[in-house]
Amino acid sequence: DILQFLNDQGLSVSGGDIHTAGDMGGNPAAKARIMRSYIDQYDPEEVYFYDDNSGNIDAVADLCKDYYPHVKIRTFQASPNGSVSIARECF
């Protein structure tokens, strides 16, 4: 479902390049910790983060202050109707 969603957004992504942070019970700090561990483990150049919760988006976007410019982070707000918009980014 995630791969199809990204393809529908015009992104060509390999399924092996998708990592989910899971349901963190509405705790933005926990989701940011998971994303920090992914960044530390995989050392990506770019991170694209999609979420429907603005608190999660803000928490992950705040990682920019620790990782930019080595890691570029772009966050997207997903709405219930399936539309997506760029929320915050450090690119």
Q: Give residue 82's identity as a one-letter amino acid code.
A: G
Give the pLDDT of residue 69.
Answer: 95
pLDDT per residue as tens digits for the range 41-72: 999 999 999 898 999 999 999 999 999 999 99
How far apart, in whole angstroms, are the C-alpha atoms of residue 60 and residue 83? 20
Q: 15 pLDDT exceeds 60?
A: yes
How far apart, in whole angstroms, are the C-alpha atoms of residue 46 and residue 38? 12
Q: 24 pLDDT exceeds 80?
A: no
**Among residues 12, 5, 15, which one has the least CA distance to residue 50?**
5
How is the beta sheet containing 46-51 ordered, strand by strand?
Answer: 46-51, 72-78, 84-90
User: Quick one: tokens of 41?
Assistant: 């483990």
